[in-house]
Amino acid sequence: GQHFGSRFAWDQEGYLYFSIGERGERDVNPQDLKRDGGKIYRIHDDGRVPTDNPFVGVAGAKTAAFTYGNRNPQGMTAHPKTGEIITHEHGPQGGDEINFIKPGRNYGWPVISYGENYGGGEFAESTAKEGMEQPFYYWVPSIAPSGFAIIDTTAYGDWNGNYLVGSLKFQYLEMLYIKDKRVIKREKLVDGIGRLRNVKMGPDGLIYIAVEGKGIFSIKR
């Protein structure tokens, strides 16, 4: 009853990506290619598995899987300029991550993490290990991220290109300022509005947020 993941995004080539969380079974699902949980998947729009998926031909593997070692990705988007698929996922008491999704990569959960057990205490081997990806960015403490968008309009001035992430736990929209492919600043927007479930760029060029139990709102600078 937890860690469903369940986010979707299309890339520029027409492939559909979606996330499945590790369902709370951290020690069995995310590192096992034979099990469904803790993965990002890539399929054709009719459900077929692409023949160039990284685990096609691997005995017993989930061939629709594109990455593994993911915890609970509740944000996913395609970069409006490069087309790269980017996700963020919940960590335990810290260690929420943003990751650029690369074929066949292991994102480390639960072997490496910047978080700790609920109630305190380390559980991961370390924060880094050979053969496992480092996050593009991580939060300590956790903000419980949900929803992900990249501003792709000059309507918001110098916000263009920044990342938007909703916070379930602290009930605000976070904006990450991006420069030279790294985060240089964090800012809270619409602080205290409620548990943000999603954020999207609308076809009209406005930012839209979905707030749990309240509805959908647009944001103007």
Active site residues: 3
DSSP 3-state assignment of 217?
strand
DSSP 3-state assignment of 92?
coil
User: Under a CB-based contact definition with an 8 Å cutoff, are residues 194 and 211 in contact?
Assistant: yes
User: Under a CB-based contact definition with an 8 Å cutoff, are residues 159 and 180 in contact?
Assistant: no
Strand order from edge to edge, sheet including 85-89: 73-78, 85-89, 96-100, 137-139
**Amino acid letter for position 82:** T
**Amino acid letter for position 47:** G
Distance (Å) of CA 108 to CA 26, 41, 97, 207: 11, 16, 11, 32
∠ CA(94), CA(98), CA(100), 5° rounding? 150
Distance (Å) of CA 44 to CA 17, 59, 79, 96: 9, 21, 19, 29
